[in-house]
Amino acid sequence: MYDDPGFQRLAEALADPRIAELTATDRPLTREHLEGIDSTLLAAVEDTVADGLEWPTDDTAVAVSGDDEPYYDDARSFGERAVRDRATYNNFPIILAAKPNRPHEGEGMMEFMHRDRLYSYVTKPYLHRAHAVAPEFMGALQRIVKADFSMADWVDALSRAVIDEQPDPKDELMLKASKAAYDLCVNLMRRDDLQIQYRMLGMSTDMTIDDPTLELRT
């Protein structure tokens, strides 16, 4: 039990057995994979696709390899990276703090940027998908990180979780939840997600995501 209700909700959401399946490595979360986990998740797929955010397929998912660390790390190794290099994850905690958003119909780019200062993060398609398939987990994590964690605070929490002899349970939970969210985002990433994001913002690009860890860390 946690004395902070936000952390308690996060712990309960992370304990959902579906989260372990959704974050398993080497598993792009195609419709077929989601149906095998829980067929009710397909409703989230259809809602997301209806909003113009295509879903990953075996052909469009970002390929991962044994070199794509920290995707293949366990939670402790994920935290140890924060100890070795405090800039390792760069903008990932900002992605965690971002609540999925997009321009309203007819809203200009400058208006949207003014309305949501995290515009370049809240429009990440894989973030939208992650919140769609795991709303309780991703929502609980987003609210905590946004309210209580700067980038430095987040790195400090992960560092303490692996360095302290008796870590604060909240730090340990933040480490485990952050690693799960990292893996979930990779599993929901498409190579053309930057193109989808640019279209959402009324722009265009030919850029692709070839390295999932580079996308999440920079």
Quote the pLDDT of residue 65. Answer: 75
**pTM for the whole thing?**
0.94
Residues of the chain with pLDDT under 70: 66-69, 85-88, 218
- Predicted pLDDT of residue 217: 81
- Write down the pLDDT at residue 12: 98
Confidence at residue 27, expressed as pLDDT on a 0 to 100 scale:
80
- pLDDT score at 118: 93
User: Which one-letter amino acid corresponds to residue 35?
Assistant: E
Would you state the pLDDT for residue 87?
54
- Please tell me the predicted confidence (pLDDT) of residue 86: 62
Residue 54: the pLDDT is: 94
Q: Where are the domains of the chain?
A: 5-217
Instruction: Give start and end residues of each alpha helix (H) in 41-168.
Output: 42-50, 75-84, 92-97, 109-115, 119-122, 125-133, 135-148, 151-163
Closest C-alpha to 130, from 75, 53, 188, 82: 188
Q: For 114-132, give one letter per residue: b (16+ CB within 10 A) or e.
A: eebebbebbbbbbbbbbbb
Q: What is the pLDDT of residue 218?
A: 65
Q: Which residue has the tokens 């959704």?
A: 22
